Amino acid sequence: MSSPALEVSGLNKRFGGLPATRNVSLSVMPGERRLIIGPNGAGKTTLFNLVTGDLTADAGSVKLFGRELLGMRTQDRVHLGLARTYQILTLFPREPLVHNVVLSLLGLDARRWNPWSILTRNRDLYDNARAALERVGLGDSADRIVHETSYGERRRLELAMALAHKPKVLLLDEPLAGLSQGERQTVRALLDTIPRDVTIVMIEHDMDTALGFAERITLLHYGEVIVEGTRAEVVADPRTREVYLGD
Amino acid sequence: MSRSGVIALAICTAVLLVLPWIIGNEFYVNMASQVLIYALFALSINMMLGYGGMVSLGHAGYLGIAGYACILATTAGYDQLTAAIFAVALSTAAAALFGVLSLRAPGLGFIMITLALGQIVWGIAYRANELTGGDNGIRHPARPMPFGIDIRDAPSFYYFTLVVFAIALFCIWRFSRSPFGASLMGTRDQPRRMRMLGHNVWLVRFLTFVMAGFWGSVAGVLYVYYNLFLSPHAISLQQSAEILLMAILGGASTLTGPIVGAAIITLVKNVVSSYVERWNTLLGVIFVVVIVFMPYGLVPGCKQLWARLSSRKNRKVAGATASEPAQ
């Protein structure tokens, strides 16, 4: 068996007296699609923030293809092939869509240190950025300003910025949040086009759309892993029902 | 650059080139040199403020370090070029140290640390009597002779300043359009996202801090050449605040804003003060009025106003010619 793409073990995080992540362990295999579910406040986004380094863990270990990430700066984790999208859109609203993706591409490009060349003359960057937008169906909107686009388009831009990095492990934080039924199907179809060399961990509330996407599901509750298993196992588990429906 | 931009640049260059002839009067030619020096200060602080969102209240510190270093090295017998290079290098190195210290804290903490560092430089200048002459200040022996050209009189000094200013402006313009500049503006708007895109936010800010310090130091050496004198009064907190206000008044985050702001504040300070006693009040009123009506500063405000006026004119024309009502 190959080593996991993402391996979290014994991860703990407290905010003051409140434990947000309690001894969380999970391991995601290369190419796997993993869904993380759980009620509000279950610590799903906190888990992502610990993996990316937005938050510092109190204890535990997070390994990306066997390399320890904890103690590493966020940008270094990104350079190892980690990418994420945000549940709350985090974009550059006054810039054109294409500029958002160019900033994303620059993050992995040594040219980002160049204070002398004219950015817009770096044709290849813009071609790549447009290609990334094309991929999420925003090719025609590349030159529009972000704040003039619809919410659904911004969600797809989030995705384009993450995919532009050609990540090895992609963390998607509620990529369907706030979308209409039609847009959900579009984004869902888009997720299906991501090749299997990208490992995906996704937080999502919309079970109808998300369940079909993931092979394995992890259920978090009060910062703890309650149930983990295949789709059928988790759905059938009485604890899932208890958490979601109450007893 | 757009065609109107090229035309505007050509006109400005032409005006700046013939300015001493237009003005004639030596007092006002010197004023023009002073405007250019302050414009360079304002441009340098704006690299941090406008593009990086970092508010510094210690920028006069670079004037202090570069200025005193230049004077002391020249008095110690080094030639002018060596003294200037030494001064700028020392002051830029100090900027690196200041950057490490102040970038530890975000937001308000950053402002307070830069303020404290600027005050430390001021305090040393004030107290180190033997070195800096304390409150009395010290004189710079003479202006340099770059490439053997005499720049003692007002017009030739103006051209010397203009050349340095033009080089700096070109570099800062490139900076603002560069990949690095784009990354810097990204870290200003979304630092967390920039990290997640692989950018080293701290290093981007630090390098900007050092570059701003470098151009501030160059302006500091020019200041000493112009006044041939430096005292702690020139590097007080008020100086730092004024430089900051120039950038804000003209419009931070634009390239031309700080230049406009520097021109207005310098002119009010020097010209109006000879007619009106309460020129400080006038400066305050100008500042309040601009910020109330043009919160992003004069240059962006005027651009917006111009766009609104011209669109209204266009609408009128369209309304007169077309049968459908204008929207």
Q: What is the mean pLDDT of residues A180-201?
A: 91
Alpha-carbon torsion (B166, B167, B169, B170), positive or negative = positive
User: Shortest CB distance from A79 goes to which of B190, B192, B198?
Assistant: B198
Contact A120 B177 (CB under 8 A): yes
- Residue B175's closest chain A neighbor by CA? A115
Which pLDDT does position B107 carry in this prediction? 84
Question: Does residue B197 belong to the interface with chain A, where contact is any CB pair within 8 Å?
Answer: yes
pTM (2 d.p.): 0.92
Residue A86 lies in a domain: no
Contact A112 B180 (CB under 8 A): yes
Which pLDDT does position B277 carry in this prediction? 80
Do A63 and A110 lie in one domain? The reply is: no
Number of structural domains found in chain A: 2
Query: Which domain, by its residues, includes B80?
Result: 3-293
Work out the minimum CA distance from B250 to partner chain A, whole angstroms.
21
Record the tokens describing residue B289, joined without a space. 């009025």
Residue A88 lies in a domain: no
Question: Does residue B47 belong to the interface with chain A, where contact is any CB pair within 8 Å?
Answer: no
Do A155 and A172 lie in one domain? The reply is: no
Cβ(A213)–Cβ(A220) under 8 Å?
A: no
CATH of the domain at B58: 1.10.3470
Number of structural domains found in chain B: 1
pLDDT tens figures, B162-191: 999 999 999 999 999 999 999 999 999 999
CA nearest B249: which of B210, B213, B285? Answer: B285
pLDDT tens figures, A21-36: 999 999 999 999 999 9
Record the tokens describing residue B9, joined without a space. 């640049």
Record the tokens describing residue B246, joined without a space. 């120039």
Contact A84 B186 (CB under 8 A): no
Q: Tell me the longest C-alpha to C-alpha distance in chain A.
A: 64
Question: Does residue A65 belong to the interface with chain B, where contact is any CB pair within 8 Å?
Answer: no
Question: Does residue A78 belong to the interface with chain B, where contact is any CB pair within 8 Å?
Answer: yes
Residue with tokens 């520097």: B262
Residue B194 lies in a domain: yes
Question: Does residue A104 belong to the interface with chain B, where contact is any CB pair within 8 Å?
Answer: yes
Do A72 and A8 lie in one domain? The reply is: yes
Cβ(A132)–Cβ(A160) under 8 Å?
A: yes
Q: Which residues of B64-79 are buried (b: 16+ CB within 10 A; e: fewer)?
A: bbbbbbbbbbbeeeee
Do A74 and A181 lie in one domain? The reply is: yes
Pure H helices in B24-107: 26-52, 60-75, 80-102
Do A70 and A42 lie in one domain? The reply is: yes
Top mean pLDDT of A210-219, A234-243, B116-125, B286-295 is at: B116-125
Query: How many A×B Cβ pairs under 8 Å?
Result: 91
Query: Which domain, by its residues, includes A119?
Result: 93-166
Question: Does residue B194 belong to the interface with chain A, where contact is any CB pair within 8 Å?
Answer: yes
β-pair type (A67-68, A59-64): antiparallel
Which pLDDT does position A194 carry in this prediction? 93
The residue among A140, A166, A192 that closes a domain is A166
Do A178 and A200 lie in one domain? The reply is: yes
